[in-house]
Chain A
């Protein structure tokens, strides 16, 4: 009895406060987005805003329950959680119902459950379990491969649904691996890969008038530049690298060149293979002129809704773009448009700051742990929340491609809200036990 009281006292109330604030703000915006033109019927439990309130209450209960479960339970059952979730991800591919072209949902009458939302905390738990065993730093190849498998299996299964957004979120666990010892070169390589991808898409859409062979895709020019760059670097190796490292640097150079060429070619041809509407979404993002005026419909309307908010917004329940259905998926993936339109620059910036503070708070929580498990798990939480924040807001602001992914605690939807509640409150329970953990 005394012990549980001490846990209650050690709960990180700041995080609880931020999460609760986000849920309430999210609910207000969902209410506005669902109400449309009619006055909000606050007691209509059948509407999305009513359902969302029920989900918030359910999550409140869930949070209390989680906070009363021994942290040891999550550590011991992490494999079980993971296996159950992988099985669910496999099952949903077979018997899931198709919504918007993706088989991501289990339908139970009027309720739908999205298993991938629960797979995220499960993956974070198992990763924490793996990396906290003994001296389980990412020093040996075996642990690295195991880690990548833990992340890769649910990532691959969600890609099959297909739900590219969730796949990317699993990919975000690379930040956790980085903190646990993965070479920073991987992050740099990832960044370079991103640059090459963007360059391939941009040059792939343009043409250049080459000597002798005439008008051809500009991607050839990109390849030429890559090759020339590597050749020049190859020649410079004796001058800038100490002799014992030269061999390794030479190998790295040509492997990088081959990888870059493969990536570039893959991106270029891959984009050509994509269904037209997806290809146009990507091209629109990079400012490539697409002949189809509907291609950037979503993002154009999202930007218009946010832009029309101005400094202080149109006011709660007063945004015409929100009220009259101009923004697609406006109570779920595009909920930030409602924030932008009705609360303006000031309100939107507050939400950005709220997310930033939450992420930094969890980072701080992570670094104050004596338990390796809790630290790794906390980084998992940071990675997952950050990816959602990054992709969702980036998409709505027209900085990232349109990838459907909810904004944590804001977007309407029971599965995602419960998934994020699990994610954060398991961490808070583990954190509350930090003083009692023996190293």
Chain B
């Protein structure tokens, strides 16, 4: 080994020493050639090897510009606009440009754009931290009008530019609960794989969310070659990869804007809900939840503060009472009881039952009502007895067994009226409410530990029964149609292509239409008869059928409830009205229903005093 090394070293040294100087040109030439070969090898590696450098070059020289499509409008059934887009402006800041130009006068800028200096500084710092050579937003959604005032001044500030973007506006401030919110995407949306990018907006609730894919449209993409300052310079490959945006589709709702607006006006300063449905088609005509807010209140730079304000308001304006609030149905439920009892044959239209107030309390002067009278008088013992016959009618000697079997037959029949169901599921966010069944009571009391006497309060619509205003309006639809309803829905047309399929499916209650005759007679009497509880629901010249409800609410004042349809023959509107903590159904809910029906059926209001009285009343209502 040592000898080998020795020999090698000698050879190298001696070769160098003894080499003819002229031969040294080959050493120099060799070095030149070696370097050239290394360079060509390196070029081969960089240019023909893996495309990492090519990808990197493309990444820094090409930029995608997203062209946002116009979002579809949301209209009422007559083409009136609920939601449309208006231009607004984002103010963008590129720190590097400002630095190159010698800095930015923050004080002057703060005054011009009317943004607090410390807030502005924070926004500028954030932009700097994000990317010094890219524009970052420092102020978002400046309304068109405000922007017009400052746009002339912006040139004075280096690195500042504005970007037009369209925002949603709800000019009338109507139907906010149903329309829902359109706002900036959150982390969850960005990770959803639906192509949302940071800073994009999307529907977050209500119809805006439900029809997001149709409203959204398709984005256009423009590919640009950018320069080192990331400014767009020319289209990539003459724009052959570019695509144009496709506008979103307009969504025409079933709402009637005039009726919706009137409903919101009537419910002003009150708490509650109005739901009006076209009984022939199941189309929702109005969906009012009070108190309300305008979706515009939740856009722009103050969204956060406004949202907190609404969230902390004790009257819960963000809560969609029409679809999310569940109330006991109360007396209105007696109509369903009567219908099923007739259908089951436990009573006839002429069956009279003693008003035995020892078992359950009652009100008014009556003693031996038939079905029609019992509904008009809202006789509690009558329906206690009727339900007892259905549920504990002697199928078994054991009262517990008997009640269990009876209720198992009873519950599904109630559900046929939509109560306790999602009503076809076309109203997203609708709560189902509940109809108690044997499973529930077995869980509450234990199997065979309950009899009719345990659960009788459900016979008059109290107890474990829960419904929403939508369910009650749908019940009015069933009454109007004498036994069937079309699943309620809110969309009439999308993008001119007609109503989305499967929205209107017909649901039968399974009750003989003949059984409705006495019930509807009673509903007419409730309004028309001088001793009826719903006389304030009368509409001049139109036969109104209705039923009051006064829903117990623990210690607090009762909720005033009314459901009705009109006209009696060929009904065109069915509705439910809830006014929270307002007293009896006839006092507040009935006149509101009357005004709504008159507005819809005649297009004008003749009952001026009634209207004035309602508009003047505010929550909380005086004790009677």
Contacts and interface: CB of A to CB of B under 8 A. Distances in A.
B13 interface: yes
A321 B27 CA distance: 39
B602 interface: no
Interface string A381-402: 0100010011001100111000
A183 interface: yes
B593 to A, nearest CB: 69
A37 interface: yes
Contacts of A394: 35, 39
Contact of B16 (A36, A183, A356): A183
Contact of B39 (A188, A367, A393): A393
A194 interface: no
A67 B43 CA distance: 37
Contacts, number: 142
Interface string B228-243: 1100011000000000
Contacts of B44: 345
B225 A353 contact: no
A239 interface: yes
B54 A308 contact: yes
A325 interface: yes
Interface stretch (B55-63, B154-162, B174-182, B452-460): B55-63
B28 A323 contact: no
Q: Which of B22, B24, B51, B226 has most A Cβ within 10 Å?
A: B24
Contacts of B54: 304, 307-308, 310
Interface in B208-247: 225-229, 233-234
Given A180-B21, A307-B47, A367-B22, A382 B40 contact: no
A308 B57 contact: yes
Interface in B454-504: none
B13 A363 contact: no
B397 interface: no
Q: Which of A300, A320, A399 has most B Cβ within 10 Å?
A: A320
A390 B60 CA distance: 28
A353 B2 contact: no
Given A37-B227, A178-B24, A308-B53, A359 B43 contact: no
B28 A304 contact: no
A324 interface: yes
Given A304-B56, A308-B57, A324-B225, A236 B32 contact: no
B305 interface: no
B12 to A, nearest CB: 8
A240 B36 contact: no
Contacts of A363: 25, 28-29, 32
A353 B37 CA distance: 9
A178 B28 contact: yes
B132 to A, nearest CB: 11
Nearest to A187: B27
B225 A310 contact: no
Contacts of A349: 40, 43
B61 A352 contact: no
Interface string B1-39: 011011001001100110101101101110111011011
A326 interface: yes
A341 B57 CA distance: 10
Given A36-B227, A240-B3, A307-B57, 5 more contacts: A300-B56, A303-B46, A304-B57, A307-B51, A397-B42
The 4 closest A-B pairs by CB, nearest first: A307-B53, A184-B16, A324-B227, A308-B57
Interface of B: 2-3, 5-6, 9, 12-13, 16-17, 19, 21-22, 24-25, 27-29, 31-33, 35-36, 38-40, 42-44, 46-48, 51-54, 56-58, 60-62, 225-229, 233-234
Interface of A: 36-37, 175, 178-181, 183-185, 187-188, 236, 239-241, 300-301, 303-311, 320-321, 323-326, 340-341, 344-345, 348-349, 352-353, 355-356, 359-360, 363, 366-367, 379, 382, 386, 389-390, 393-394, 397-399
20 contacts: A37-B233, A175-B28, A184-B17, A188-B16, A239-B2, A303-B53, A310-B47, A323-B227, A323-B233, A326-B228, A341-B57, A345-B44, A348-B47, A349-B43, A352-B39, A352-B43, A355-B36, A367-B25, A389-B35, A393-B39
